[in-house]
Structure 1
């Protein structure tokens, strides 16, 4: 499981060092794609394959499902971390997520998310009460 919050810096070449805690698990390569809320999602290859298969199995008659599947495939980049645990984020990914030097990598249980540090703070500020006040309707499938 990927858990926790980490604050690596993006270097001038667009490289980001992934948390040391996860490096061994990520050695086989990762799939980086646009996530929701203008973040990037980092999946292990097998986990990404499962997600892609589910996306492709969705109804082709559903406009949102088609858009999701297309964007997922078109925006995914395969990376293999170097010996220092760094990955290179493509320019388009950096633009989409608004990444500057200060980044935040969060564990999202089955994947990692990469956020611009300011965007992550704003997201937390906007959604802290949502988290604290979540009712049974929202959490029924979880709790």
Structure 2
């Protein structure tokens, strides 16, 4: 399971060092793709196969379903980290997520997310205050 918040830097070649706590999950290879909220989703190859399998069972009869699958998969790229735990974030994904030198990488359970730090801080501030004010269950049966 991928957990925690980390602050890696993007180097001049578009590479990021994976947090040590994520290394076991991603050492054999990973898949990056467009996430929601302008971040990059990072899956282990094994987990991405599960996501793709679930997607392939979705009906292609709705425009929204077709469009989501197209956008999600067309942005996907397989990467293998080097011996220094660095992985290249493709330029298309860097542009999509507005990634510059300062990054925030979070563990989101079955995936990691890479955010521009300013965008993450803005998202966190806006979302946390709304979450704290919620008067009902956000995830049914959790609390």
TM-score normalized with structure 2 length: 0.94
Aligned to 2:88: 88
Q: After TM superposition, list the pairs within 5 Å mapping 1:1-143 onto structure 2.
A: 1-140=1-140, 142-143=142-143
Distance in 1, matches of 2:131 and 2:98, equals: 24
Structure 1 position 136, deviation (Å): 3.1
Query: 1:39 touches 1:97 (CA, 8 Å); kept in 2?
Result: yes
RMSD between aligned alpha carbons? 1.2
Number of residue-to-residue matches in the alignment: 143
Distance in 2, matches of 1:20 and 1:115, equals: 18
CA distance 1:67–1:141, shift in 2 (3 Å): farther
- Structure whose residues are more often helix by fraction: 1
Note the residue ranges of structure 1 that are not aligned, 5 or more in a row.
none
Please identify, of 34-43 and 129-138, the stretch whose mean Cα deviation from structure 2 is larger.
129-138
Structure 1 position 83, deviation (Å): 0.6
Query: 1:55 touches 1:68 (CA, 8 Å); kept in 2?
Result: no
CA distance 1:69–1:91, shift in 2 (3 Å): same
TM-score normalized with structure 1 length: 0.94
Q: What SS does structure 1 have at the residue aligned with 2:71? A: helix
Distance in 1, matches of 2:107 and 2:18, equals: 11
Query: 1:52 touches 1:69 (CA, 8 Å); kept in 2?
Result: no
